[in-house]
Structure 1
Amino acid sequence: MKIVGLTGGIGSGKTTVAKMFASHTNCAIYIADVEAKKLMNSSKIIKDKLIANFGEASYTKDTLNRKFISNIVFKDKEKLAKLNSIVHPEVRNHFLHFIKINNQKAYIIYENAILFESKSHLFCDIIITVFVHLNTRIQRVITRDQSTKKEVLNRMKNQWDDQKKILQSNYVILNENLEETNMQVQRIHNILTVNS
């Protein structure tokens, strides 16, 4: 079984690509951001550390106050690093358990926006980067999250440059046209399952 890291900048369409891979029954999909959000609400370890580092307002009625945390961390690299150092070890442990329960699959897609930044690429056998031109990404995020352009650019500043990711990837999926994206996914799936 192979661990396939799937990454790309915010707004590149990683989740759309992950869903295309999910149409195959012999692969399992782990979306780190979704699981991290769940863990931030369910893990006592994370909760205690976030309150200790960012204050009581980090949670409202036992639910993570995302807006409060986002306003702090996306303007301050050190605070973002602190948040990641609290959340990522728990996500990693959760993912290791996910691997165990899906070890009969041909491969696992590990979708993570900060695959390289969090050093999670080190436990991947293959890396796929989803690429879209910058203006398309900005527009997609503004539409999806009702963000301002400034907010989107702030979040982008905390991610590696696309070219840097592409240079360290085995495959690059250009995600401008869904039909063509799906064809690229099918081609990679065929390569990944050729001997399984």
Structure 2
Amino acid sequence: MKIVGLTGGIGSGKTTVAKFFAEFKNVAIYIADAEAKKLMNSSKIIKENLIKEFGQKSFVNGELNREFISEIVFKDSAKLAILNSIVHPEVRKHFQDFVKNNQDKDYIIYENAILFESKSNVFCDIVITVYAALNTKINRVMARDSSTKTAVLNRMKSQWNDVKKILQSNYIIDNEKLEDTENQVHKIHNILTQYYV
């Protein structure tokens, strides 16, 4: 059973690609960002460390104050690094449990926007990077999050650029047209289940 890292810059369409992989019954999907969000509200360790680092405003009525944290970390790379150092070890432990519970699958897709930045690629057997043109990505994020172009570009600055990711990946998925994207997913799935079971 293999771990397949799935990454790509913000707005590249990783979630869409993960959904295509989820259609195969012999594949388990782990969305690191979604699980991190859940853990930030449920993990006592994360909660305590976030309040210690960012103050009481980090949580409102027991729920993570996302806007407050985002405002801080996406303007300050040192603060983002601190946030990641608090959250990632707990996500990693959670993922290890997920792997144990999915031993019957052919492979696990580990979807993580900052796979390389968080050095999570080291426990992946294969890495897939999802790619889209810069304008496509900006427009997608602006539409999805009701963000400004400046806010999107600030978030992009905190991630590796596409070329750096692509050079360290086994497969690249060009995610501009959905039909083409789905075909690429099917091709990769066929290769993985044929050679890497």
Q: Above 0.5 in TM-score?
A: yes
TM-score band by shorter chain is: over 0.9
Residue 194 of structure 2 aligns to a residue whose secondary structure is coil
Runs of 4+ in 1 over 3 A off after TM superposition: none
Question: 1:161 is matched by which residue type in structure 2?
Answer: N
- Alignment correspondent of 1:14: 14
Deviation per CA, 1:73-104, whole angstroms, max 9, x where unpaired? Answer: 00000000000000000000000000000011
Q: How does 1:43-122 map to 2 (within 5 A)?
A: 43-122=43-122
- Alignment correspondent of 2:187: 187
Deviation per CA, 1:7-27, whole angstroms, max 9, x where unpaired? Answer: 000000000000000000000
- Alignment correspondent of 2:25: 25
Report how far residue 35 of structure 1 moved: 0.1
Percent identity over the alignment is 71
Report how far residue 3 of structure 1 moved: 0.2
In structure 2, the gaps of 5 or more residues are: none
Cα distance in 2, alignment partners of residues 153 and 63 from structure 1: 27
Cα distance in 1, alignment partners of residues 148 and 161 from structure 2: 20
Cα distance in 2, alignment partners of residues 78 and 111 from structure 1: 24
Match status 1:4 vs 2:10? no
Question: 2:171 is matched by which residue type in structure 1?
Answer: Y
Report how far residue 155 of structure 1 moved: 0.2
Report how far residue 141 of structure 1 moved: 0.1
Match status 1:149 vs 2:149? yes
TM-score, structure 1 length as denominator?
0.99
Residue 193 of structure 1 aligns to a residue whose secondary structure is helix
C-alpha RMSD over aligned residues: 0.5
Report how far residue 159 of structure 1 moved: 0.2
Cα distance in 1, alignment partners of residues 64 and 119 from structure 2: 25
Question: 2:68 is matched by which residue type in structure 1?
Answer: F
- Alignment correspondent of 1:135: 135
Residue 30 of structure 2 aligns to a residue whose secondary structure is strand
Report how far residue 183 of structure 1 moved: 0.3
Cα distance in 2, alignment partners of residues 109 and 124 from structure 1: 9
Cα distance in 2, alignment partners of residues 10 and 161 from structure 1: 10
